[in-house]
Amino acid sequence: MMALCIPVVAILTHLRESMMLVAVQIRVWLKQPEVWRFVGLASTVVGLICFALSSVFNHLFGKWYSWKLSLYIVVSVFICLLILFPEIWQRFLISPRFKTHSPFWVASITSVYSFFFDKAVSGKPDVYNLISCASFAIMSLSLSRRTHCGLEKDLLYFFLGVLIVRLMMIKTALGVVGVCFGYFLHSLCSSGATATPPQYVELQGEPSPQLHSVVIEADDSPQAASTDIAGMANQLRTCMKKLKQKYLNVTYTLFPHLEHNYQLSVTDHNYVIDALPSRLINDLHETVKVMMEAGFEKECYDVYTKRRKECLEDCLINKLLFGEEINIEKEKRTEIEFEDFMIRRLGKACKVALRILFPGEQRLCDRVFLGFSDSAYLCFIDVCQGATIKLLDFVDAVASGSPSAWRLFKIIDMFETLRDLIPEFQSLFPESMVNEAIKIQNRLGEASRDIFLDLGNLISRTPGNCWLLPMTQSVINCIIAARESRQILEQILEEYPKVGNEVGKSSFSAQMEWMIELLERKLIAESKNFEDPASHYFFMMLNWSYLEQKAKEEGLGTMLGDDWFPRNEAKVRKYLELYLKNSWEMVLDFLKLESYESVVPNVVTLEFMKEKLNLFNKHFRETCNVQSTWFVFDERLKEQIRKSIENILLPTYGKFIGRFEDVLGKHSDEYIKYGIGDIQDRLHHLFLGSNGMNQ
C-alpha cells in the first residue's frame, strides 16, 4: 500500500506544480497589452453584430433600411477604432475634471438607455441580446486593462447588471450564472490594479514625474507622498551589490562538487538562499515594494534583473565552470585529458545550476517581489535565461566536436545528464526554454547514434606499429565501455533511428559483431607488413589472445555471444600451430636424418651429422636472437608458447644428440654447443622484448 501511495503522491505533486506553472503563464499572458487589444476588438465586433440582430434593436430603432444600415456600420467602425487604439483618445479624457464628471454622465446615459429599453421591450430577451451584453462587458474589461479614464469600470458594471437582469427574466436561477460571470470579470479587472500606473500631480517648477521628480500618489499615502526614483534606484543598487558579495561567498563552497573525483552531494535548492542574510533580503523587499507601489515597476525590474543576471553568470560561468584552477589543470594534462576534465565539469555545473542555483534564484525572486508574483516570475526568467543559454551552448559544443570513440562516451554521459535535468527545466522555465533544452538533448542523442554506428570505421583508422595492435586495445576498451552504457545506447538507437539503415544493422549486438569483423580485417591487413611468415602468425595469435583474455576478465561472454569464446580459442590455436610450423619446425628440419637414410640405409657419416648439428646451432641461435625481441603481454600465453616449442624441439634434439654421441663417442662434447638445459634456458629468454617493443 505504501509503495502504491508514493508514486500517486509524486504524480499529484507534479500535477500541482504543473497547474501552478500554467496559472503563472496565464497571468503573464493576461498582462500583455496586445492580448487585451485583441480581446477588446473581438468582443466589440461580436457585441455590435449581436446587438444589431437582437430584438432590442428592432424595438428601439425599428426595421432596417439602407441608410440605417450604413449609419450603423459607420458608427460600428468608429467604435472599433476607439477600442483598438484607446491611447489616441484617452489623453484628452484623462484630465482630473473629466474624471470627476465622467461617473455622472455614464450613469445618466445608461439610465436613459434602460428607461427606453424597459418601455420598448416586453417578454423574454433573445440569445443575441444576452451575447451582446456579455460582449460589451468584456469590451469594458479590456478598456480597464489598457486605459485609465475612469469610466471603464462604470461601463463594465452597467453591462454586467443588464446581463444579470436579462438572465433572470428568462429564469431566476440563471441569475447565479450572471453573478458568477460578473465576479470573474471583476476579478480580472481588479488583478490589473498593480499594473496600473499611479496618478501623478506635478509640483510647480519640478521636472517630469518620469524622471527625477517628486511624485504624489492619488491615495495620498504618507509613504508614497515623496518618492525619489533616483534615490530608490541607488538604494536598490546598493542592496544588490551587498547581495552579490554574500552570494558569491556562499557559492564558493560549491567548488569542490565540480571536481571530477567528487559526487554532487549538495542537492538542496534552498542551499544558497538559506545561507544569505535574511535582513538583507528583507531590505531588498522593502525597497522593491516602495518602487513597485510608486509606479516605477520598469525601473525596479531593470535594476534588479541586470544586477542579478551579472552576478549569476559571473558565479556560474566565470567562477564555477571556468574557475582560476582551470589553467593549472590545463598545464597538468594532455589536450584530451583536459577536454575530458572540462566535459565532466560542465556536467556537474549543469546539475549545480538546475538543482541549486536556479531554484534558489526563483525563491529569491519570490521573496524580494513578495506580493508581485507576476513580476517575480518574469524577473526570474530574465535573470536565468542568459546563463541557461550559455550552458546549453557549451553542451551543444560537446555534440559538435570531432567524432571519436573517446568522445562517444563523453557525449553519452552529457546526454544522460541533460535528460535527467529535463524535469528541472520543465518545473522552472517556460516551454520555449524547455524546448531548447530538449533540442540540445536530441542533438546529443543523434551525435551518439552517428558515432556509435560508425565506431568500427573510426577505430580502424588507429595506426598499427607494434605487436599488440592499438586497434585491438581500442576495440576491447570500446566494447567494455559500451557494455557499461548498453542500456542508454539501446534507448538512443531506438529513439533516434538512422534513416536508410537496414533493419537490424543498427542494433547494439550488430555493432559489436561489426567492430570485431573490422578488427579481423585490420589484423589481416597489418599482418601482411611482416615479411617473415612466423612473425605474421605470431602477430595474429597475440592480438586474438589479448582480445580473448580481456573479454574473459570483463565477463563479455553474454554480450559477444555464447559461441564467441570457442571460435576465438580455435583461432588462437590455429595461429599458434602456423607460427610453430613456420618457425621452429623449420629449425628442426636440420636435425632430421630420415631423408638421408632412405637413400643410403643404415649409413650416416660423421661429417654429415656434424654439418647438420652446425646448421641447427646457427639457425637456433638466430631464431632465439630474433624472437627474444618479440613481446608477449601475457605470462600465461608466453608460457604456453614456450611449452609448445619445447614439446616439438626437445624430443627431436635429444634423439639427434643421442645418435651423435653414439657415432662420435667421447669426443662428441667438443661439437655439442647446446645441452638440453641450455636449450631450455634459451627458450626461457624468448619474448622479453627490447628497444621499447614491449611498450
586-627: per-residue pLDDT in tens?
888 888 766 544 444 444 577 888 888 888 889 999 989 988
Single-letter residue type at 627: Q
The x, y and z cell numbers of residue 524, run together, are: 589481416
pLDDT classification of 405: cutoffs 50, 70, 90: confident
On the question of pLDDT at 582 being above 60, the answer is: yes
Please state the separation of Cα 656 from the chain's center in Å.
75
Report how far apart, in Å, the C-alpha atoms of 637 and of each of 289, 523, 545, 546 are.
Answer: 80, 19, 8, 9
The tens digit of pLDDT for each residue in 327-376 reads 555 655 677 777 888 888 888 889 889 988 999 999 999 999 988 888 89
Give mean pLDDT, residues 233-247: 85
Give mean pLDDT, residues 318-331: 67
Euclidean distance between CA atoms 216 and 212, whole angstroms:
13
Q: So what's the pLDDT on residue 389?
A: 93
Our separate counts of H helices and E strands in the chain read 31, 2
Q: Which residue has the higher pLDDT, 74 or 256?
A: 74
Predicted TM-score (pTM) of the model is 0.58
The x, y and z cell numbers of residue 474, run together, are: 581500442
3-state SS, 378-432, equals HHHHHHHHHHHHHHHHHHHHHHCCCCCHHHHHHHHHHHHHHHHHHHHHHHHCCHH
Q: So what's the pLDDT on residue 166?
A: 77
Min mean pLDDT across 148-152, 311-315, 514-518, 654-658 is at 148-152
On the question of pLDDT at 433 being above 70, the answer is: yes
Q: So what's the pLDDT on residue 382?
A: 93
The x, y and z cell numbers of residue 369, run together, are: 517581489
Min mean pLDDT across 412-421, 431-440, 637-646, 686-695 is at 686-695
Classify the C-alpha dihedral 282-283-288-289 as positive or negative: positive
On the question of pLDDT at 655 being above 50, the answer is: yes
Euclidean distance between CA atoms 467 and 524, whole angstroms:
13
Q: So what's the pLDDT on residue 509?
A: 78
On the question of pLDDT at 490 being above 70, the answer is: yes
Q: Which residues neighbour 422 within 8 Å (Cβ) at sequence distance 6 or greater?
A: 434, 437, 438, 441
Judged on CB neighbours under 10 Å (0-12, 13-18, 19+), 692 is exposed
The tens digit of pLDDT for each residue in 87-101 reads 665 555 544 555 555
Q: Which residues neighbour 677 within 8 Å (Cβ) at sequence distance 6 or greater?
A: none
Single-letter residue type at 460: S
Angle, CA 283 vertex, CA 308 and CA 276 arms, to 5°? 60
On the question of pLDDT at 198 being above 50, the answer is: no
264 neighbors 351 (Cβ within 8 angstroms): yes
Q: For 354, which DSSP code?
A: I
The x, y and z cell numbers of residue 336, run together, are: 584530451
On the question of pLDDT at 20 being above 80, the answer is: no
Classify the C-alpha dihedral 109-111-115-117 as positive or negative: positive
Euclidean distance between CA atoms 405 and 386, whole angstroms:
32
What's the Rg (C-alpha) of the chain? Answer: 44
Euclidean distance between CA atoms 448 and 410, whole angstroms:
9
187 neighbors 176 (Cβ within 8 angstroms): no
Please state, for a pLDDT cut of 90, what percent of the chain lies above it.
13
Euclidean distance between CA atoms 374 and 445, whole angstroms:
36
Euclidean distance between CA atoms 619 and 145, whole angstroms:
104
Please state the separation of Cα 418 from the chain's center in Å.
3
The tens digit of pLDDT for each residue in 100-128 reads 555 665 666 666 666 666 655 566 777 77
Euclidean distance between CA atoms 467 and 627, whole angstroms:
12
The x, y and z cell numbers of residue 600, run together, are: 643410403
The conformational region for residue 237 under phi > 0 = left, psi -120 to 50 = alpha, else beta, is: alpha
Average pLDDT, the chain: 76
- Hey, is 502 helix, strand or coil? coil
Written as one string, the DSSP assignment of 63-121 is S--HHHHHHHHHHHHHHHHHHH-HHHHHHHH-SHHHHHHHHHHHHHHHHHHHHHHHHH-
Report how far apart, in Å, the C-alpha atoms of 43 and of each of 23, 69, 79, 81 are.
Answer: 23, 20, 12, 13
